Structure 1
Amino acid sequence: MSDPGSSARAEQLLGIVHGLSREMRPGAPGLAQLGLEHALERDYGLDSLARVELLARIERQLGVRLAEAAFTEAETPRDLLRLMAGDAPGSMPPASTRSLHAVPPAPTSGSDLSSGMAPASGHESSPEQRFSAIEQPPETIATLTEMLDWHVARHGEQVHITLYGEGESSEDISFALLRTEARALAAGLLAHGASAAGPGDRVAIMLPTGREFLFAFYGALYAGCVPVPLYPPARLSQLEDHMRRIAGIVANAEATVLVTDPRAKLLGHLLSAQCASLRRVATVAELTRPGAPPPLPSPGAEDIAFLQYTSGSTGNPKGVVLTHANLLANLRGMEHASAVTSDDIFVSWLPLYHDMGLIGACMGSLVVGFQLVLMSPLAFLARPQRWLATIHRYRATVSAAPNFAYELCANKLDESGLARLDLSCWRLAFNGAEPVAADTLARFTARLAPCGFNPAAMTPVYGLAESSVGLTFPPMGRGPLIDRVDREALSKLGLARAAPADDARARRIVSCGRVLADHEIRVVDASGRELPERTQGRVQFRGPSATRGYYHNPAATARLIDGEWLNSGDLGYLAAGELYLTGREKDIIIRGGHNIHPQELEEAANQVAGVRRGGVAAFPATDPRTGAERLVVLAETGEKSIAARSRIQAEINRLAVDLIGLPTDDIVLVPPRSVLKTSSGKIRRAACRELYERGELSGKPGAVPRAPWRQILGLGLTGLGARTRQLVGPGLGWVLSWTWSIWAWAVFAATVPTAWVLIVLAPTLALRRHIARASARLALLLTGLMPAVKGMRLIADDGPLVVVANHASYLDALILTAVLPPRFAYVGKQELLKNPFAALPLRRLHSAFVERFDNARGVEDTRALEARVKRGDALVFFPEGTFRDTPGLLPFRMGAFVIAANSRIPVVPLTLTGTRALLPGESLRPRFSVLQARAGAPLQAQDDEENTWSAALALRDAARAVILAQLGEPDAGC
């Protein structure tokens, strides 16, 4: 096959990509040099919304149709070109293009309403013929499996779920088929010897939306196990971060089986190496045992139905325990509040690992009996219009989505497709799972009004996993109710006072409705006292849908439960019995007497040209010097020029002043996909704050993710180490430890003499320092000691600077040489000059030496170092001056801080961990240790020319406090 890059098609494709990139980033430098191998997101600056437009333009201008997977898996124009050339997936590089394929062009008949959705094939009956109302199950049914059995006994061949795929493809799943396949899989789960799952065991399910997920989920229920839905990785470029988060969930759940698809089995085995409980990784086909299953357990109403993991940090996953009774109470409450019946048809693209899709749509169809049309989430993300076209096609009456989906449709729909849509059938458009924006509701209803969409169908709702899924619903058919409140009164006093009609700064808050029957909500202050209406406070709830807590997480459960009530974590107020949400309790920013909610500022910043839509996080951060709370905005952008980035920062700051009356303290522009999000797309502000305060957010453009093969290798090595520690006994562990020590000495014996010669002979200082850094990195890589590096972006690339680090072993300087830029000189003790082998290379590297015991000479040395700093040098000090075997941070000497205070230059505190265990005390035998180098925020001396000694003392104390807090060792300076 000829090289696609040489074809006219390649030029056409690049023309489309370049044109869209120019529209996104007018005047961006270097665009003309970008080609087929450059990244769509990192280099061309095409975010998720831009990809929607890109795929539409490619299909419209080039007459092709790309598979929906192209939306997430194609990383470069080259990937897209291969798709258009018709290459099979197997011929494409697995790093970025697995499972992508081209499909025939879409028909252009009037029934093609989705810009790529074909009408039903001739042999297929119409949706109206396939779907018919059925008898609704009685409320005496106590479990989900009993509910499915009831349906099968009465109308087993009735279509329960239709899986609507690409083009014309669809698959009907009847109640009987779902039960048969689920029970066959249950038999396989229970019949695998030592690796078999038993009743009560957790079964992790990492599958995309489709028949196999449904069979695995209900199969686990029939086996008496507890399903644990996991979200599958969307992109290989994010594989490592994804799998580390999943590993935390699997370990917390103590899952014994992972059900996944064949392509992800390798990842599953990597996961099993890190999770001791995981005994088997299998596909649905491998677990399914056709034929009559053996007797299966019968779960009870109070048994756990499944664990719904809320999105949190890797180290503290929170698995919401939901029983059959919880789920059925919630589903019946929502059924009564919404008046949904078996006559309704529900279209959903919501992922099945998310509670809104799994409980609200999938389980809702089982309990109520309405017909469910399931689409892949990719189908919506790639072509938002396909969602609406499917509602039109099936004459659906109900659908649900988070606010961002309605915003996407309001801005990205194709006018020609809209002209053929009839949405008059859509009577309930649920909007939930994230804050509902009043402007989005207005834009969506206005845009869809010509299609017959009734504004009264828009139904904002509120719920959370801890209450199964739903908690408050408005009256059906009323439409949104929006409260305009005085912004100052709300932020300063917590009072939701009605704003005057002419108040342009009024805050518009959308009602989420009234609490479900048999449930309660209240708003309380910090002490738990119930607040009157229109007073902002903490939202609490209770009722039969409420969880009993988080699985294997008593600390988080204790924070959740407050007597008979549960804390939602949300802030809001009640008015006329309806709930109005104002923000998340943990996200509130207190500054200048104002309580600032981040959502509004994020939404406004999202509109700034050059900012990646949905890539903004606003959060509070603690100033390390003063302890005051700062307002930080983190914004993703593909802009690389200084002028463009400065414009973005200025515009965001202006918006902050307009919205909240206060400027920001810091605006950090980061590459795309730096803002952390949950599996459902919510901003993880607390996690972003943690990274910011640790200095781990890179403000430099063009950060490149590690190649997938390197991520997989890293995961494999991590798992191997964990599994080895589980398996080896003390004797074998001793042998392995000594083997590593000998290997480490062999590496150092080979690299140190070579580096010594090269450093001594190299003609320039810059070359000598690069040789030292490369040699140190090579030695650490070969021994597996390369430290985890955090916060290095805080260390300036040029200019005078002082770095101070704790001292715990002879190898500390080697570690710092490997991780710091090759522009630093080290300050060491005078005694090093007595060793000619060490003295010669150290002098060639322009290291400095100070006298520790002669005070007069020490003052002279300090003045000499101060002169070097003023000439622009960057110096590294170990202010403890020595180290010892016993853990603990020793007192800091003043030299480094006097130099910084006198020279008015910043001090960066840098914490080394793990080096004391690596080479304890005077020992010559290294022991393997996990190392970390973490830089703190630069500290600036107070501008006090008359009292620089006080400024130096303050610098010393601040730097030592930072290192002590990060070190995890006792204070040995008392």
Structure 2
Amino acid sequence: FHAFFAVLMAGGVPFPIYPPFRRAGIEDHLRRQAGILRNAQARLMISDAEIRPLSALLMGLAEDLRAFTTIADLGRARVLLEPMPASSETMALIQYTSGSTGDPKGVVLSHANLLSNIRAMGETMEASSRDVFVSWLPLYHDMGLIGAWLGSLYYGAPTVIMPPLAFLANPGRWLWSIHTHRATLSAAPNFAFELCLKSVRDEDLKGLDLSSLRMVVNGAEPVSPSTIERFTERFRAYGLRPEAMAPVYGLAECSVGLAFPPVGRAPIVDRVERRALAADGVAVPAARDDATALEFVACGRPLPRHQIRIVDEAGRELADRRQGRLEFKGPSVTKGYFRNPHKTLSLFDGDWLDSGDLAYVADGDVYLTGRVKDMIKRAGRNIYPHELEEAVGNIEGIRKGCVVAFAGRDERSGTERLIVMAETRLTNDLEKARLRDKISQSSLEILETPPDDIALVPPRTVPKTSSGKIRRSAARALYESGTIHEGSRALWLQLTRLGIEGILHRARRTVRRGVDFAYAGYWWMLLAAFGLVLWPLAVLLPGRPLRHALLGAGGRAFLRLTRIPLEVEGQGALPKGGVMVIANHASYLDGLVLSAAIPGELSFVAKHDLSRRIVAGPLLQRLGTIFVRRVDPKGGVEDTEAVVRAAQHGARLVTLAEGTFSRMPGLLPFRLGAFLAAAQAAIPVVPVTIRGTRMILRGDQWFPRRGSVSVTIGEPLYPDGNDFAAAVRLRDRCRTIILQRSGEPDLEHERVDLPPD
């Protein structure tokens, strides 16, 4: 609690990660967390003292991580006099979704996103300060952090937070906490209800009263119709009303919640024809005596101010009872994944976000049928893995909730194979053979096809997320690696491997930094040497063409010696006579690059302040630079007239139309002066796009990086008049071309304050 708000008040961005649970999987766990820390560029980790021994390993694997501390340590630090200011759009949280080690997805959420979601869920649940929430959900998971804790905080509702391990050790403690505190609200994933059914004995429930519950949310993983039915039936005798059970749907990309049922409505289970859904994607209601029917639970309707639609593969919205991709939008949705533009691009479909889930809508309710990437295609049919997993989990000898079905590729036929991985404590070969027969028979009854392979594995082999969901892709990777039956490595060996890898990682990083510093030193020494030679020559040599030829040759030589490739396209496009070259501005290198890329004499249009610089002033004056006053209205008019006269006399003028640059990628608004001069002088404008200089030498920093540069010279654009409106049209045409070629975002509406000239 303290750490989360302390980070926000100090101006940081918190992101929770989950602690290691099993000694056998600590190596895989730390690798996954290190991948998250690298993506987030985390500087500080706050945790319990028990985690401190592992912090050195993580700092070895995550190069930006600088320190580890505890709440007790922070309590001895100086008091923050006042919190850092924040707006509704300020980043409040990064939620990392379950992904692979090398490609973590950090969902960026603003304060506005969190508040919108909490308010929408609260409206649907009829939440108020009169409620009491009991939760064992971990605070590093969105349902526990946002749904239970922050939601209760917003509504001023008392909240009882249990340690997750206390629930896992004794699920009955959750039920008795609801009884003791007369809880009205609670929440848990589907496996928690199964664990209560399996582990809580009848004799431990004497006197239990659950009648205070108005709503107990079941979400964060696929909701099983069987689980809801059996849990409701068993605990009805202890005061649990069927209408208190609330299957919901949500995802991190929508903060946490997206669809909830109305308060007081019992769960709805839809039975549909298996063949129609598998073959045609149509959820046809099944007959009562259809033993092969599929069952799906209604997960409610979109939260207030949120929308859901179901689309086909072409992005067209589907009618009711047609299965397709679920897309959503609303005030709770993220703007993307942190430092993962590729995944962010694939997340959006215009204004809508792609959930990656398959679903259909019937009577306004959403029915989830599976994940797009988990669907197994076999003989022209779609196989729903969660249905088979649930059936196999009910077989005696198989650990319930520890079964995963996935598709494996048959390299010979090119088709998908059906693989079932299931945990069991049995070790006898004959007993395991009988289990395989039962699994095959169960698959035949449900899917009319047996699995291609059945892998019976020891407990704690099937990979899971922090919330208990099956990590299907990780299970597939484990199966394909061929190490599925290998015993887990000893703890000392796992930690030794991580320690060695961390040392090697830090060594590589040190070498890389050393090389970077050496390059930067060489870069600046070379620039200084060129300056010492070229500056006096450019100032003293007679004839402006000679000076420009010298500067261009020097620029090309500098780029070659610093290993910066320069690619120029469209050199023949620059017309003869008076012309206005308009380029984007990304770095201090832009002037040098333009001189190296465009042969011949160029007259730069620069801010007046540069004329007073000790080094730059004399050089620019000798090169024929025209200085303009950008924030002085009277002087600006005179300077524009000077630019017009130069253009009319055949000068090739060069203007960096943004007037300034920043370290942030993006094309800023273009200043109008150069275009007004071009319209009045009736000369063409040539759009020139510079790419790569920002990455080499960013604004507000003086540490050059390796990179390449490209310059694209566009076709000349001619003004269609000589008035103000013609200048505006010319500017907009030119900016559109440069924006398309720059590969950077459009910052047209970004406010830019120019410094005094």
Fold agreement, TM-score > 0.5: yes
SS in structure 1 of the partner of residue 55 of structure 2: helix
2:520 aligned with 1:714? no
In structure 2, what is the Cα distance between the partners aligned to 1:419 and 1:502? Answer: 38
User: What's the offset of the Cα at 1:642?
Assistant: 1.7
User: What's the offset of the Cα at 1:560?
Assistant: 1.0
| Structure 2 counterpart of 1:288, one-letter code | G
- Tell me which residue corresponds to 2:180: 393
**What are the ranges of 5 or more consecutive residues in structure 1 without an aligned counterpart?**
1-213, 734-974
| Structure 1 counterpart of 2:382, one-letter code | N
In structure 1, what is the Cα distance between the partners aligned to 2:261 and 2:11? Answer: 36
In structure 1, what is the Cα distance between the partners aligned to 2:480 and 2:500? Answer: 29
- Tell me which residue corresponds to 1:403: 190
2:440 aligned with 1:653? yes
In structure 1, what is the Cα distance between the partners aligned to 2:182 and 2:173? Answer: 14
SS in structure 2 of the partner of residue 229 of structure 1: coil
User: What's the offset of the Cα at 1:395?
Assistant: 0.6
- Tell me which residue corresponds to 1:523: 310
2:407 aligned with 1:637? no
| Structure 1 counterpart of 2:505, one-letter code | A
1:175-194 alignment, distance < 5 Å: none
| Structure 1 counterpart of 2:438, one-letter code | E
**Preserved contact between residue 308 and residue 321 of structure 1 (Cα < 8 Å):** yes
User: What's the offset of the Cα at 1:730?
Assistant: 10
**Preserved contact between residue 487 and residue 506 of structure 1 (Cα < 8 Å):** yes
User: What's the offset of the Cα at 1:558?
Assistant: 1.5
- Higher Cα radius of gyration: 2
User: What's the offset of the Cα at 1:732?
Assistant: 11
In structure 2, what is the Cα distance between the partners aligned to 1:705 and 1:631? Answer: 26
Describe the shift of the 1:725–1:662 C-alpha distance in structure 2 as closer, same or farther (beyond 3 A). Answer: same
- Tell me which residue corresponds to 1:278: 65
In structure 1, what is the Cα distance between the partners aligned to 2:80 and 2:349? Answer: 44
**Preserved contact between residue 312 and residue 678 of structure 1 (Cα < 8 Å):** no
Which residue among 244, 250, 260 is the counterpart of 1:463? 250
Which residue among 375, 389, 398 is the counterpart of 1:602? 389
In structure 1, what is the Cα distance between the partners aligned to 2:457 and 2:419? Answer: 13
- Tell me which residue corresponds to 2:287: 500
State the Cα deviation string for residues 222-244 of structure 1 (Å, max 9, x = none): 11100010101112232111111
User: What's the offset of the Cα at 1:375?
Assistant: 0.1
2:89 aligned with 1:306? no
- Tell me which residue corresponds to 1:216: 3
SS in structure 2 of the partner of residue 269 of structure 1: helix
| Structure 1 counterpart of 2:149, one-letter code | C
User: What's the offset of the Cα at 1:510?
Assistant: 0.5
SS in structure 2 of the partner of residue 228 of structure 1: coil
- Tell me which residue corresponds to 1:922: none
Describe the shift of the 1:280–1:411 C-alpha distance in structure 2 as closer, same or farther (beyond 3 A). Answer: same
1:202-601 alignment, distance < 5 Å: 214-289=1-76, 292-601=79-388
**Preserved contact between residue 637 and residue 671 of structure 1 (Cα < 8 Å):** yes
**Preserved contact between residue 519 and residue 541 of structure 1 (Cα < 8 Å):** yes
**Preserved contact between residue 520 and residue 542 of structure 1 (Cα < 8 Å):** yes
2:464 aligned with 1:681? no
State the Cα deviation string for residues 774-793 of structure 1 (Å, max 9, x = none): xxxxxxxxxxxxxxxxxxxx
User: What's the offset of the Cα at 1:290?
Assistant: 6.2
Percent of paired sites with the same residue: 52
- Tell me which residue corresponds to 1:617: 404
In structure 2, what is the Cα distance between the partners aligned to 1:711 and 1:292? Answer: 40
**Preserved contact between residue 10 and residue 80 of structure 2 (Cα < 8 Å):** no
User: What's the offset of the Cα at 1:609?
Assistant: 2.0
In structure 2, what is the Cα distance between the partners aligned to 1:731 and 1:382? Answer: 51
User: What's the offset of the Cα at 1:246?
Assistant: 0.5
| Structure 2 counterpart of 1:719, one-letter code | G
**Preserved contact between residue 15 and residue 95 of structure 2 (Cα < 8 Å):** yes
User: What's the offset of the Cα at 1:728?
Assistant: 3.5
2:492 aligned with 1:705? no
In structure 1, what is the Cα distance between the partners aligned to 2:225 and 2:309? Answer: 24
**What are the ranges of 5 or more consecutive residues in structure 2 without an aligned counterpart?**
517-757
In structure 2, what is the Cα distance between the partners aligned to 1:730 and 1:329? Answer: 43
User: What's the offset of the Cα at 1:299?
Assistant: 1.4
**Preserved contact between residue 484 and residue 498 of structure 1 (Cα < 8 Å):** yes
SS in structure 2 of the partner of residue 462 of structure 1: coil
Task: Give the TM-score taking structure 1 as reference length.
Answer: 0.52
State the Cα deviation string for residues 277-310 of structure 1 (Å, max 9, x = none): 1111111111224674233311111011111000
SS in structure 2 of the partner of residue 378 of structure 1: helix
- Tell me which residue corresponds to 2:644: none
In structure 2, what is the Cα distance between the partners aligned to 1:682 and 1:260? Answer: 24
**Preserved contact between residue 191 and residue 468 of structure 2 (Cα < 8 Å):** no
Describe the shift of the 1:732–1:554 C-alpha distance in structure 2 as closer, same or farther (beyond 3 A). Answer: closer
In structure 1, what is the Cα distance between the partners aligned to 2:512 and 2:248? Answer: 55
State the Cα deviation string for residues 900-954 of structure 1 (Å, max 9, x = none): xxxxxxxxxxxxxxxxxxxxxxxxxxxxxxxxxxxxxxxxxxxxxxxxxxxxxxx
**Preserved contact between residue 586 and residue 686 of structure 1 (Cα < 8 Å):** no
In structure 1, what is the Cα distance between the partners aligned to 2:499 and 2:447? Answer: 48
In structure 1, what is the Cα distance between the partners aligned to 2:23 and 2:43? Answer: 25
**Preserved contact between residue 432 and residue 463 of structure 1 (Cα < 8 Å):** yes
In structure 1, what is the Cα distance between the partners aligned to 2:60 and 2:13? Answer: 22
User: What's the offset of the Cα at 1:312?
Assistant: 1.1
SS in structure 2 of the partner of residue 226 of structure 1: coil
2:413 aligned with 1:626? yes
Describe the shift of the 1:730–1:579 C-alpha distance in structure 2 as closer, same or farther (beyond 3 A). Answer: closer
- Tell me which residue corresponds to 2:660: none
SS in structure 1 of the partner of residue 14 of structure 2: strand
| Structure 2 counterpart of 1:541, one-letter code | F
User: What's the offset of the Cα at 1:351?
Assistant: 0.4
- Tell me which residue corresponds to 2:508: 725
In structure 2, what is the Cα distance between the partners aligned to 1:602 and 1:234? Answer: 24
| Structure 2 counterpart of 1:433, one-letter code | A
Describe the shift of the 1:563–1:645 C-alpha distance in structure 2 as closer, same or farther (beyond 3 A). Answer: same
- Tell me which residue corresponds to 1:180: none
In structure 2, what is the Cα distance between the partners aligned to 1:343 and 1:254? Answer: 41
1:130-141 alignment, distance < 5 Å: none
SS in structure 2 of the partner of residue 634 of structure 1: strand
**Preserved contact between residue 260 and residue 268 of structure 1 (Cα < 8 Å):** no
State the Cα deviation string for residues 643-693 of structure 1 (Å, max 9, x = none): 111111111111111011111111112222221111111111122223333
| Structure 2 counterpart of 1:306, one-letter code | L
